[in-house]
Amino acid sequence: MSLVRLKIKGISYSQTQNGAYALILNEVDGDRKLPIVIGAFEAQSIAIALEKEIKPPRPLTHDLFKTFADRFDIVIKQVIIHKLVDGVFYSSIICERDQVEEIIDARTSDAISLALRFQAPIFTYKNILDKAGIYLKFSAKDEEDEDSDDETIEVDEILQEEETVPLAKGDANPYQSMSLTELQKELEKAVQKEDYEKAARLRDEISKHTK
């Protein structure tokens, strides 16, 4: 079976329902997206790995694993989403130490969190993408602004059709009226309090202000 490389498109989250997140993966040489429902902790860990400017005061679990692996010369070479059963994705982490390769089973969210920290490529098999991949249609505006609400709404609708955890279709944005300086101050406070869910949302809003 042929492998298809994926990249992270983003994380869609609910502003009204705690724990409702979807990680969106995009095939590198195509237009299909692979939505994966993940937990709040994993979503925060992935968001922090993506946002280099957010520095937790204490290491998260995946950061600790990265430090541990570095100390013992363990390298993650790649992550493969290798199976889909009853809507659940199964993944393998391909590791190497002293030129010996090992394959370790992992939850997909954990595997991707680690792949980001090791800058390792993420793959899935073509038959899984054929089965679970979706096409998202964007307007010209959406193509310029990948964080637009339209994309979140469309993803939410697809996830609901798949009978997975529903995401909100849009709520009042409490940070929309804040200035860039206020947002940056709130971001610093959120990181110090280790409220990474709030930090990720603030970082999204800051990105909109700086475009």
Convert the pLDDT of each residue in 1-23 to its tens digit: 799 999 998 887 655 555 668 88
Residue 154 is predicted with a pLDDT of 42
Lowest mean pLDDT among 69-78, 95-104, 125-134: 125-134
Residues 17 and 103 in one domain: yes
Q: What is the pLDDT of residue 98?
A: 93
Residues 17 and 98 in one domain: yes
Same domain, 111 and 203: no
Report the CATH number at residue 23.
3.10.690.10
CA nearest to 25, candidates 38, 9, 40? 9
* Residue 114 and residue 19 share a domain: yes
168 is a domain residue: no
What per-residue string of b and e applies to 143-165 under the rule 16 or more CB within 10 Å gives b?
A: eeeeeeeebbebbbebbeeeeeb
Identify the pLDDT of residue 150: 36
According to the model, what pLDDT value does residue 143 have? 39
If asked whether residues 130 and 199 sit together in one domain, one would say no
Q: Report the alpha-carbon angle 95-104-132, nearest 5.
A: 105
Whole domain around residue 188: which residue ranges?
A: 180-210
- Is residue 151 domain-resident? no
Residue 173 lies in a domain: no
Is 142 a member of any domain?
no
Total domains in the fold of the chain: 2
162 within some domain: no
User: Do 118 and 60 share a domain, yes or no?
Assistant: yes
Asked which of 107, 135, 163 is the last residue of a domain, the reply is: 135
Residue 193: DSSP 8-state: T
Residues 184 and 97 in one domain: no
In a domain, 143, yes or no: no
166 located within any domain: no
Same-domain check for residues 93 and 184: no
Check whether residue 194 and residue 127 sit in a common domain. Answer: no
Task: Flag whether 122 is in a domain.
Answer: yes
Query: What does the pLDDT look like over 13-71, one tens digit per residue?
Result: 655 555 668 888 999 988 899 988 888 888 888 988 887 766 777 888 999 999 999 99
Question: How far apart, in whole angstroms, are the C-alpha atoms of residue 134 and residue 152?
Answer: 14
**Residues 125/185, Cβ–Cβ less than 8 Å:** no
